[in-house]
Amino acid sequence: MTATTAAEKPPISLREIFSVFFWIGVFSFGGGLTGWVYREVVTKRGWMSDDEILSGIALAQVLPGANVTNLTVFVGNRLRGYSGAAIALTALISPPLVMCVLALWAYGFIQQISLLHAAVDGVAAAAVGLNIRLGIVGAVRVVRRVGPTITMLATFIAVGVLNWPLVPVVLVIAPLSIASVWPWKRNNG
Partner 1 sequence: MDDQSNSSFAPLMALIAVLAPFSLVAIGGGPAIFAPLQHQAVEVHRWLTAREFIELFAVARVAPGPGSMLATLIGWKVAAWPGAVVATLAIFLPSSLLCIGVSRVWSRYRGRAWHQALEDGLAPIGTGLMFAGAVAIFKLANAGPLGWGLGIAVAGLLTLWPKLHPFLVLGLGAVVFVAVAAVPH
Candidates 17, 18, 20, 25: give the one binding partner 1 (CB under 8 A): 25
Residue 57: Cβ-neighbour burial (10 angstroms; 0-12, 13-18, 19+): buried
Host H or E run for residue 18: helix 14-26
47 contributes a contact to partner 1 by CB under 8 A: no
Torsion of CA 39, 153, 76, 49, to 10 degrees: -60
Query: Least Å distance between CB 66 and partner 1?
Result: 4
Instruction: Show the site string, 116-145: x = touches partner 1 by CB under 8 A, - = not.
Output: xxxxxxxxxxxxxxxxxxxxx-xx-xx---
Query: How far, in whole angstroms, is CA 113 from its chain's centroid?
Result: 31
44 contributes a contact to partner 1 by CB under 8 A: yes
Candidates 17, 68, 87, 91: give the one binding partner 1 (CB under 8 A): 68
80 contributes a contact to partner 1 by CB under 8 A: no
Looking at residues 145 to 174 of the shown chain, list those that interact with partner 1 (rule: CB under 8 A). 148-149, 151-156, 159-161, 166-167, 170, 173-174
